[in-house]
Structure formats: structure tokens, C-alpha cells
Structure 1
Amino acid sequence: MPESQEMLDFFSRPGPLTGLGEYQKHLRTLPAELPALVAALQNLTVHIFWTERYGLILDETRRSEVEIRPAAPKLKRLLELDARPLNEPRPLELRLVSNCRDYSILMAAILRAQGIPARARCGFGTYFMPDHYEDHWMVEVWDAAGQRWLRVDSQLDELQREALRIDFDPLDMPEGKFVLAGDAWRMCRAGQADPDHFGIFEWHGWDFIRGDVFRDLLALNKIEVLPWDSWGLLQTPFAECTPEQQALVDEAARISAAGDVAACRKFYRENEGFQAPGEWIKV
């Protein structure tokens, strides 16, 4: 899908949660090519839901690393654990504990620091469990040569790819492997999918999907909130929202699924119930 230069410029600059500040200098040793960069990130991080598969047991202090919202403090924590250059793989116990959102915003932060357009996206992966849409994040990276967004799942290392029997390229995922939150919402509203098939663990259904619609809308505004953040209109169950409020969710789903960034930015400015608390984005 063609993008305007204005939008590409927008996503090539850090947002409030992806600016790296004094930690940007540590990126110098990282490789420039996307496959090598993804591999380097995987050697610096460990996914919180896969730790036991790697043979790693975490205490609560280590598990709380996924609560760090901005990218810069994440890099700070990583370097506190191991101060070596970022191109050097860490042993498992010295890697930053992360989740899918963290892999995505760290990739976005690193690429934006290099002036490469990148944007985290929130939605659902179809490759984790059969007949299930798993709550998930990935990052879209602009391919200047192909003039399109590549969908990249940067958490899928060799162990995960083998365990999940991944049969596609995680650095250029085909259509259907990842369902944007807005598309999931629209599928369910049209009766084409069961909302209870969307979620993670015991959390699923209409209100869960709606939360991901909010998160993806904000990500297109370069505000990448935590997967469990709840604010504004999300604190009212969808069934209790007014028809006008429900229509706003439908519109947010439509414009975010379409990737209409200009409309998403305008919508975010004009609808207070969708706006993230200011303290979340003051870094």
C-alpha cells in the first residue's frame, strides 16, 4: 500500500515511548540488516511466557521487567544486567525479560533511531494455537525497495519457530497470519468470527478485542501502551456504552484496520475517552 512521505517521516522518528535518549549511542554495534538485527534482539531478550522452555526460572523482580513502558528504561535495565556491547549475545539469565509488545517497540525504537519507518501493531496471531486468535504484537517495517510494509514478528527465535512449527517467514509474514485488532473487531461485529476465540489465557471476548483496538489506534499515534493498560472508555464495559460510544469503537476499528494514520491521529486528538493518561507518556 503506498504511503505518503509525510507518514513515512512520522514513523521514522521516535514517539514518546520509543525515544532512546542517552542510550541511543549503544545501538552503534548493532547490525543494520533486518535479519541480523532481529537475531541480535533475540539474543538480548527472553520472552516471559517461554522462560521455562528455555530452562530459566524467574523471580518476581525479573518478571516485573515487562512492566517497563518506555524503550529507553528497557535498554537501561538491559545494560544494568550486562554492560557489554549490544551486538554480544547474553546468557539467558542476563537477558531482558520481555513480551511480544516489548520485542515490537524495541524494534521500532531501534529502527526509528536509524531513520527507518517502523510501527508496532496490536492484534492477534493465528499461529500459536489451533482455531484461536492469540493476543499479540508485531512490528511493521517499511521496505523502501518494495514500497510496502513488512510484517515482522521479532520474538520468533529458533526454539519458538520449531515449537510452533512455523512454516512462513517471520520477517515478512503473509496475510492472515496476524489479524489487526480493528479487523478482528469488524469480523466479530459482522458475525464472521466468535469473539470468545480472541484473547489470551482466561481473557477473551468483546471487551478484550476492544482493548486491542484502542492499543492499535494508539500505536498508530506512536503511543505504544502496555498490553494490560486500561483507561478512559475501556473502563466502561462495551455492553454498557451508549450507542454513540459504541459507534466510536467501530470507527476506531475501521480506520486503524485500514492503516489510515491521518484519520487515526485526528480521531485520537478529538476523542478524550481514547487518550492515554499523560503520566504514561512523560519520559
Structure 2
Amino acid sequence: MTSLDRWTAHTLMSDPGQQAEAIAAFPDEAGHLAGIIQGLLMHSSWLAEYGLDTSKLRPAARQTLPIAERLADIMQLDDRPLAQARPADRRSVGTCRDFALMLCAFLRSKGVPARVRCGFASYFSAAWEDHWICEYQNAGTGEWRLADAQIDAMLRRRNHIAFDAADMPRNVFLMAGEAWLKCRRGEAEPESFGHESTTGLWFLKINLLRDHHVLNDRVTSEWDRWREAPQASRQVSQDELAWLDDLAARPDQPLVAHRPDWLV
């Protein structure tokens, strides 16, 4: 398998299952596919913006499901063809990783090399916010582009987003490794990266490990359980810095078998 074949082959997480034939009929263009996804998914943190009750989240809302399961959930809510947008209250509720994984799955189904990436976005708040996007290869130029399928009309209005969400500028989203190295070089403050009130070098490490896992075909991992970590363990020791620097510089290296400290 070549390096590009690796990113067109489905994994258990990206395989669309029974919806493969329907997806094969979709157009190849990432922006068009993102538009279809926006008619299928809702982000659990933005329900109120669409007039939905935030207290009635279903169990699947905060889990990153395999795409076959997520599509089955969508069809159970509304069995119209996937290309038809659902009303907001009949979409499946997930997180940014579900949007990224679904775009990745759709692109792979069209023969386009694609992968999910973990890092930090600058377009949700003044800080760099924990986020997941899809990275795909442009057929014409061969370059890898960034796409955020979550950026719909509401988010554009609310956050004044003007860039092309299917070909994002590299300075609006930083891969976890890029963010880590900027902080290590003193070009950015670790406290400006994180998830809500959890910020700093420790959370940069969390996303660095998660991006490393996803580049080894593991979209989910034990590092997703970071909320279980006691405050005392939320630190980065001096003896970790060298291997984390190397991991940040080469996130696609073979999987480093390193369990979260709080689970060891």
C-alpha cells in the first residue's frame, strides 16, 4: 500500500457501510460534500444557536461514532436520501470530530486521499480552541488542504468567518504539533491553547498525542479521556520534553506506545 493508498482506504471508523453506494454518487468537491454534511449533523455545543433544547442530548451526541453507525443514526431520525438536508431538530448531534470524520469518509469514498487532524482553531474565540478538521489532497496540485465541514452559514455570521472553509489558510488552524513547537520556541503562550478552561502545555500534549494516534489510523484513543486526569497529573515533566518535541516534528511516525499517565 502506498502512502496515498493509505489515506483512500477506509478504516472501521471511516467505512460508510450500507450508505457507500449513495455516497459514491456525491460530487468530489470538498466544499459541496461539507454542505451535505451540514444538513446531516449538528454540533452539541451550538444547539441553542439553532433554537434547539440543549438539555435533551442523546447518548450518541458526545461520542465519536464509526461513520456507519453515525449514518444509521441519521437515517433512523430521517430516512430521506443523504443528500437532502434535514431540519435542525432531525440531524444527528455530534462534535467537531464527527464533522471531520464524515468529510474524511466521504472524500475517501470518492477516491480522494483524506485524513482527520487534531489541533487548534483560531476562529471560535480569541484563543486557540481545541478542534478537529479534515485534511485532504487536492487532485490538481497534489498539495494537502484543510477543510472544516462544521463552518456553516450560522458560524460564518456569528464568528465573521470569510475564508474558504474547504481550503483554509494554514494560519487559522494549527496542527497540534505545530502549536506545541511554536510554544516551545517561545513564539506563542501555552495558556492560549486549550479546551474551555483547560489550557497550557499539558493540554497541548493531549492534542499532540491525539493527532499522532489519528495519523496512525486511530481516530479515537485513551487520550480522549483527558477529563479523568486529576489536577496533580496535569503537567509535563522535563524528561518528557525531548520525545514530545520529536513527536511534534514528526507526528506521522509509527505509533508511540505511551499510555496516559493517569491510566498507567
Q: TM-score, normalised to structure 1's length? A: 0.83
Question: Residue 150 of structure 1 contacts residue 173 of structure 1 at CA under 8 Å; is this kept in 2?
Answer: yes
Match of 1:212 among 207, 211, 228: 207
**Which residue does the alignment assign to 2:191?**
196
**Which residue does the alignment assign to 1:225?**
220
CA RMSD of aligned residues (A): 2.4
Mapping for residues 23-172 of structure 1, pairs under 5 Å = 23-62=19-58, 64-130=60-126, 132-172=127-167
| CA displacement, residues 177-211 of structure 1 (integer Å, 9 cap, x when unaligned) | 10110011111122221111101211111111111
Q: TM-score, normalised to structure 2's length? A: 0.88
Structure 1 residue 129 displacement after superposition = 1.6
How many pairs are equivalent? Answer: 257
- Structure 1, 52-61 or 115-124: larger mean CA deviation: 52-61
**Distance 1:77-1:175 versus aligned 2 partners, 3 A rule:** same
**Distance 1:125-1:214 versus aligned 2 partners, 3 A rule:** same
Tell me, which stretches of 5 or more residues in structure 1 are unaligned? 276-283
**Which residue does the alignment assign to 1:174?**
169
Alignment identity in percent? Answer: 32
Is residue 272 of structure 1 aligned with residue 226 of structure 2? no
Question: Residue 69 of structure 1 contacts residue 225 of structure 1 at CA under 8 Å; is this kept in 2?
Answer: no
Structure 1 residue 28 displacement after superposition = 4.3
Alpha-carbon distance in 1 for matches of 2:51, 2:233: 39
Tell me, which stretches of 5 or more residues in structure 2 are unaligned? none
Alpha-carbon distance in 1 for matches of 2:85, 2:171: 32
**Which residue does the alignment assign to 1:281?**
none
Question: Residue 96 of structure 2 contacts residue 150 of structure 2 at CA under 8 Å; is this kept in 1?
Answer: yes
What SS does the aligned partner of 1:192 have?
coil
What SS does the aligned partner of 2:133 have?
strand
